[in-house]
Amino acid sequence: MKKLLFIYNPHAGKELLKPKLSDIVDIFVKAGYEVTIYPTQSYRDAYRKVKEYDSEEYSLVVCSGGDGTIDEVVTGMMERNERDPVGYIPTGTTNDFANSLHIPKGLLKAADNAVNGSVFPCDVGKFNDDIFVYIAAFGLFTDVSYQTDQAMKNVLGHLAYILEGTKRLFNVPSYRIKVEHDGETIEDEFVYGMVTNSRSVGGFRNMIGKNVAFDDGLFEVTLIKTPKNPIALQEIIAALLIEQIDTKHMYTFKTGKIAFESLEEIPWTLDGEFGGEHDYVEIENLQQQFEIMVPEEHKKELEGKKEI
Q: What is the pLDDT of residue 203?
A: 56
Sorted by where each starts, the structural domains of the chain and their CATH numbers stand as: 2-116 (3.40.50.10330), 130-287 (2.60.200.40)
Torsion, CA 27, CA 31, CA 33, CA 37, rounded to 10: -20
* Dist CA 203 CA 223 (whole Å): 18
* Dist CA 35 CA 308 (whole Å): 37
Q: What is the pLDDT of residue 271?
A: 87
* Cα distances (angstroms) measured from residue 208 to each of 203, 211, 281: 12, 9, 21
Q: Let me know: does 71 contact 270? Beta carbons within 8 Å.
A: yes
DSSP state of 204: B
* Dist CA 304 CA 308 (whole Å): 9
* Dist CA 135 CA 197 (whole Å): 6
Q: Let me know: does 66 contact 90? Beta carbons within 8 Å.
A: yes
Closest CA to 93 of 75, 103, 105: 105
* Dist CA 221 CA 6 (whole Å): 33
pLDDT in tens, the chain (308 residues): 899 999 999 887 777 888 999 999 999 999 999 999 999 999 899 999 999 999 889 999 999 998 889 999 999 999 999 999 999 999 876 678 898 899 998 999 999 999 999 999 999 999 999 999 998 989 875 555 555 555 555 555 555 555 555 555 556 788 999 999 999 999 999 988 989 998 777 655 555 566 788 999 999 998 989 888 878 877 877 777 666 676 788 898 999 999 999 999 999 989 878 899 999 999 999 999 999 999 998 888 887 643 33
Q: What is the pLDDT of residue 84?
A: 97
**How many residues can be counted in the chain?**
308
Query: Which distant-in-sequence residues (6+ apart) come within 8 Å of 116 by Cβ?
Result: 31
Q: Amino acid identity of 122?
A: C
- Please state the pTM of the whole predicted model: 0.86
Q: Let me know: does 120 contact 291? Beta carbons within 8 Å.
A: yes
CA atoms lying within 13 Å on the CB side of residue 174: 11
Opening angle at CA 135, ends 125 and 210, nearest 5: 105
